Structure 1
């Protein structure tokens, strides 16, 4: 709902200033990504109310900004808008708009997100190590899991770097836009690799009837290739429609390019898995031994689909809820769901996997046996050597007269 108003403000800014001639003693009209700034006389400051048509600028108590305060954009003596010294990019001072309470809420969400992505990264790296270390786990199904884990690791890393870039004063526009693009790409790849997991299981159980060998190049193209095409279209659209503010401001048309395919992938995956369950229930009695091998993976995928899709449902609901308290709660929930997704994926697909549990417990038993044997064989030597070692160290101490 607010996106329409945001787009309307951009359009009005362009139309209202279309026929204004350029004057060297004035800074030209400009849209800075949040608000429209009219032509301003050199050596003067343009001042206006903080925008109220975006959620982060509204006056309902959840926002970081309030409409009764003012934003300032200085026009320099040379007829150019003020540029931030370290980056030389044009800059608007919105600091007076920001409430202390809003700042604390933003920093709380930032710390929560960084913590969530860090936990997800560590958990996923451990899970990847397990999959690569144990040869008995090497199969196409686990290879699919590896790709999914890598996509979540990259997304967590990109998200941390991108969020951190917004805490750096005057950060390079090229750098933060690059991080934003990578963040969008890795987020899309997360959902398309989940779609690949669903298609793989469906093909394995329904089409190929438990013949595990499939052409993984097709899945690689879908999981990594399609998000790249989506990203290319997104980047071009952002350059054309709204090339400002590190692309952090919402642009409806561009958002559809990313979130549209994600929503489609979630719906397709849900339909595939529902059909998969139907087929499994019909074949369970006749092929119980074969199907039992894949029950765990199917259960895991069924749990993850609503889990991963819930944040997009909540974000959509948030657009139409005017209540500030509800919006505040939803914003924290979506923050947690986004940052801890990788952790949930690693737990469900790796640490709760029966094969992984059996293999790791067996490995611990073998390690314990070898350690016990080694300890018994060395214990006598250690006891014999300990006195000699102590004596040699005593000889090195200074002697008293």
Structure 2
């Protein structure tokens, strides 16, 4: 009954009479804080709601039974303070005001005589909210920088990934299991980037929407969390495939991709739905935007587990690479350069940078640098993956070069044809056809030093276009660019 909105104001007025606490206007006048726009409906309703909850807490919470002096529970106009022993009580700053940083702390001093500290100038009970605004402008500027960084990063990622998918889909010679996994992972990056941009623009950067708390913004949050999890589980799928291909190598045929689809697209639904149910029952904040809850471990726990497994795969693959390269009797510097190259290629694929740099440093400047670097990794990862696994891929480059050469020949033929009459068109067409046949290679691949690869001849695949374990490990990585 106490939580029905229609009963808030009568009960609130009754609580004011019972507790004899200072109201919002009085407290704001007595405390030396910046001019806060309390006339806004959102801010005033939030404060009244918090005041109502505080008075219920004051009335119904059991009394303090510990021996010794203490300061009584109270409402100071903005926050509710519990019974406190002598010393300094602290809690997070309120979220009512745009220029308050909710991650900072407000303090209230309890004197040794069991009385709350009074300001020397006003002689009224005083809470210290100065820390809430001390770094607000700098943090706001930095937050907007990260916001625009995220928009640009995800925008570039979406464009590059769509181009990559078009390339993989257009050239049939690139069709194989490895490319199929790449395409699904690229799709997960695209969905995650789109949902992240929409969520940042429509929810995180929209105070009015957050205050109205519609069901739509919660659904968008769930979708964003699902695509976030799907992104990392497709990274795990890539890690499992590579580890099986390079380390296990017990089969010659193709792997069954059905389980990869279940793991990449299906499994992330479980933590997303579980988190949504738990959030609605135990921490139903506005648009589920707050990160100040342990319920987020429902989402982050499986992601961290996937990253740890991928880290194991990365280390094991590097171990095998070092062993294989030692057997080939390559020069030491060349061997280590290959290992470093393979490792650097695997890191963005498997998301290992989030494991290698897990700890936030202390200090504002160090933390700001850390956040900036981690945001670059997070928001530009799709672009980095597209560059490494599509644009930098030797097979893709060979296909694009052949297509460009054929296109130039067609343009040349068209331009030449326009200068001849119909009597010479047959001769010119024959010449262009012969030139195309002589220029286009019979085999739809390239041969790299140190490794033999099965080819697709004259458009017909022999079924082994993508390596499936029949080559040595270093040659797999070198010939296919992972």
Q: TM-score range by the shorter chain?
A: 0.5 to 0.7
Mapped pair 1:345 → 2:385: yes
Within the candidate set 167, 174, 180, 2:221 is matched to 180
Q: Is the 8 A contact 2:229 2:303 kept in 1?
A: yes
Structure (1 or 2) with the greater helix fraction: 1
Mapped pair 1:125 → 2:162: yes
Mapped pair 1:152 → 2:189: yes
Mapped pair 1:26 → 2:11: yes
Partner secondary structure for residue 129 of structure 1: helix
Distance 1:362 1:62, change over 3 A: farther
Mapped pair 1:317 → 2:359: yes
CA distance in 1, matches of 2:387, 2:91: 41
User: Which sections of structure 2, spanning at least 5 residues, go unmatched?
Assistant: 16-44, 55-74, 82-89, 108-131, 331-338, 422-482
CA distance in 1, matches of 2:10, 2:356: 50
Mapped pair 1:370 → 2:410: yes
Partner secondary structure for residue 249 of structure 1: coil
CA distance in 1, matches of 2:368, 2:94: 11
CA distance in 1, matches of 2:318, 2:398: 26
Q: Is the 8 A contact 1:62 1:102 kept in 2?
A: no
Partner secondary structure for residue 48 of structure 1: coil
CA distance in 2, matches of 1:259, 1:35: 34
Distance 1:107 1:273, change over 3 A: closer
CA distance in 1, matches of 2:199, 2:100: 23
Distance 1:273 1:100, change over 3 A: closer
Q: Name 2:347's counterpart in structure 1.
A: 303
Report the Cα offset of residue 242 of structure 1.
Answer: 1.1
User: Which sections of structure 1, spanning at least 5 residues, go unmatched?
Assistant: 1-16, 70-95, 289-294, 382-401
Q: Is the 8 A contact 2:51 2:77 kept in 1?
A: no
Report the Cα offset of residue 283 of structure 1.
Answer: 5.3
Q: Name 1:258's counterpart in structure 2.
A: 299
Q: Is the 8 A contact 2:92 2:104 kept in 1?
A: no
Q: Name 1:38's counterpart in structure 2.
A: 51
Mapped pair 1:48 → 2:61: no
Report the Cα offset of residue 229 of structure 1.
Answer: 1.0
CA distance in 1, matches of 2:382, 2:258: 24
CA distance in 2, matches of 1:353, 1:66: 47
Partner secondary structure for residue 303 of structure 1: helix
TM-score (norm 2): 0.57
Aligned length: 318
Q: Name 2:277's counterpart in structure 1.
A: 236
Report the Cα offset of residue 209 of structure 1.
Answer: 4.4
Within the candidate set 302, 309, 314, 1:273 is matched to 314
Q: Name 2:200's counterpart in structure 1.
A: 163
Larger radius of gyration: 2
Q: Deviations over 1:145-165 (max 9, x none)?
A: 000000000000000000011
Mapped pair 1:113 → 2:150: yes
CA distance in 1, matches of 2:377, 2:170: 29
Distance 1:34 1:189, change over 3 A: farther
Partner secondary structure for residue 77 of structure 2: strand
Partner secondary structure for residue 290 of structure 2: coil
TM-score (norm 1): 0.68
Q: In angstroms, what is the RMSD of aligned CA positions? A: 4.0
Q: Name 1:190's counterpart in structure 2.
A: 231
Q: Deviations over 1:340-392 (max 9, x none)?
A: 111111111111111111111111111111111111111457xxxxxxxxxxx
Distance 1:251 1:362, change over 3 A: same
Q: Name 1:81's counterpart in structure 2.
A: none
Which segment drifts farther, 102-111 or 201-210? 201-210
Report the Cα offset of residue 198 of structure 1.
Answer: 1.2
